[in-house]
Amino acid sequence: MLQRFDALEPLVQALASRAAGLERPYVVAVDGRSAAGKTMLAAALAERLDATVIAGDDFYTGGTQVRLERPAALVTACTDWREQRIVLEALRSGQNSSWHAFDWDAFDGRACDGLTVKSPSPFVILEGVYAARPELADLIDLALVVRVDEGVREARLNAREGKIGPWERQWCAAEDYYFEFVRPLNSFDIMTSDLAL
């Protein structure tokens, strides 16, 4: 049953309660549309729960050009969920994990030279669009979706991107498809509103 939270501290308490007594890290997927506030929420939760945060953007594989595939294919192609599985499996078993993140500064398809290394904590948070994709369901203890007023989200997206062109629109269409057909909002465990972090 979808549970809603409009304030951070009750959400923190609920997560802590769900993870109590677990002898491995508790894995939370923080999902939601672009510019909904996932990164900020993940950071706030990490600070309060001593969590390891994994940025979904590190695993971007969608390329730098406009693609001709339908939205369903873009959902599959956007992130390397197989690599995310490897990372989550290691952290859940108490081991460190590492990967080469996509280089957003170069934005030319290559990964950063440096290795991203994470060690397990009581909580592991995978944040990003598609974090709660079905291919990772067996590794995720709780799927959380962040919602925000659409006007606020679009303003944030425009401020961040500078403009919304064909490249951005293809990924918006993929998100539409994902949240309508792959992970409808009622399929999540928890929904948050904009928590004004």
pLDDT digits (tens, 9 = 90+) for 148-195: 999 998 999 889 888 888 989 999 999 999 999 999 999 999 999 877
Determine the pLDDT at residue 163.
82
Instruction: Tell whether pTM > 0.75.
Output: yes
Instruction: Report pLDDT for 162.
Output: 83
Q: Could you tell me if 54 and 33 are in contact, meaning their C-beta atoms sit under 8 angstroms apart?
A: no
Residue for token digits 């996932």? 38
pLDDT on residue 197 = 63
Predicted pLDDT of residue 196? 65
Two tokens, residue 157: 């997206």
Report, as ranges of residue numbers, the positions in the chain whose pLDDT lies below 70: 196-197
Residue 22 half-sphere exposure toward CB, CA atoms < 13 A? 18
**Cβ atoms within 10 Å of 134's Cβ, excluding its own:** 11
CATH fold for the domain made of 3-17+24-192: Rossmann fold (3.40.50)
Q: Which residues contact 149 (CB under 8 A, 6 or more apart)?
A: 194
Question: Residue 121 and residue 137: Cα distance in Å, rounded?
Answer: 20
Tokens of 77: 């192609």
- Domain assignments of the chain as residue spans, ordered by start: 3-17+24-192
